[in-house]
Amino acid sequence: MGSTPQPRRGNTRQRIQDVAMELFADQGYDKTSLREIAERLDVTKAALYYHFKTKEDILNSLFEVLNRPVEELLAWGAEQPRTLETKQEILVRYSDALTAAAPLFRFMQENQATVRDLRIGHTMKHRVMALVDLLKDEDAPLSDQVRCFTALMAMHAGVFALRDAEGDPEEKREAALEVAVELVTRAHDHGPGGSAG
């Protein structure tokens, strides 16, 4: 014979997502063409359109993996008392969610300009704002808001921005979490019952 008939395997949708995630994270969304994704999978571009309505749709489907845990975290956090322990637990859980979806997160960070016009851009923005709201006290001074926001950024950094630095990934993650907790703790201490001045 000569041509392997490529038995229509049923996992194509998943394989598209895997390859897309890899290429999006490596090269960026704009610079990754559907042709490239299709070629890697040895299918035609049209096959992608059987499984996803648009290019953005592929990205949306990837986003849900990250979005769901974060949404659950937000729901959980909204029901807890606004104690320091709660805040610390939120950071711990967020760190876990980040780690679980590390490539996507790196992607979001590096493609902000692109992602801004996409559906996931809006969603993501709201999620981060909601997280900050859970971490900061009401009417917190600007510098404390910055602390809480920076705490989240530290963890984002811990997952991917420090990837060029030496050291074990897990240790970096823990270091980032430590700094985040420190920042949020400081902000918390400034609050109504805090001790600092």
Say which entry of its own copies, DNA, none residue 160 contacts (CB below 5 to 8 A, set by partner kind).
none
Pick between residue 38 and residue 152 the one whose CB is nearest to DNA: 38
Q: Which one, 119 or 125, has the nearer CB to its own copies?
A: 125
* H or E segment to which residue 129 belongs: helix 119-135
Q: How far is the CB of 35 from DNA (least distance, A)?
A: 4
- Scanning 5-13, 78-86, 94-102, 116-124 for contacts with DNA by CB under 7 A, the matching segment is 5-13
Contact 45, 16 (CB under 8 A): no
Question: Rounded distance, CA 79 to CA 118, Å?
Answer: 30
Torsion of CA 186, 177, 147, 25, to 10 degrees: 180
**By C-alpha distance, which of 65, 24, 19 is closest to 40?**
19
Candidate segments 38-46, 95-103, 123-131, 184-192, binder of DNA by CB under 7 A = 38-46
Contacted by 47, from its own copies, DNA, none: CB < 5 to 8 Å by type: DNA
Per rule CB under 7 A, is residue 45 in the interface with DNA?
Answer: yes
With CB under 5 to 8 Å by kind, the binding choice for 100 among DNA, its own copies, none is none
Closest to 52 measured CA to CA, from 43, 146, 167, 178: 43
- Closest approach of its own copies to the CB of residue 186, in Å: 7
What's the burial of 171, exposed, middle or buried (CB within 10 Å: 0-12/13-18/19+)? exposed
* 141 Rama sector, left if φ>0, alpha if ψ -120 to 50, beta otherwise: beta
Q: Does 55 bind DNA (CB under 7 A)?
A: yes
Q: Which of these segments, 49-57, 123-131, 153-161, 162-170, binds DNA (CB under 7 A)?
A: 49-57
Touching DNA, residues 91-150 (CB under 7 A): none
Give the dihedral sign, CA 68/74/79/85: positive
Q: Using the rule CB under 7 A, which residue among 18, 28, 40, 47 binds DNA?
A: 47
Contact predicate 28/114, CB 8 Å: yes
- In the bound state with its own copies, the residue whose beta carbon lies nearer, of 18 and 110, is 110
Residues that bind DNA (CB under 7 A): 6, 8-10, 12, 32-36, 42-47, 49-51, 53-56
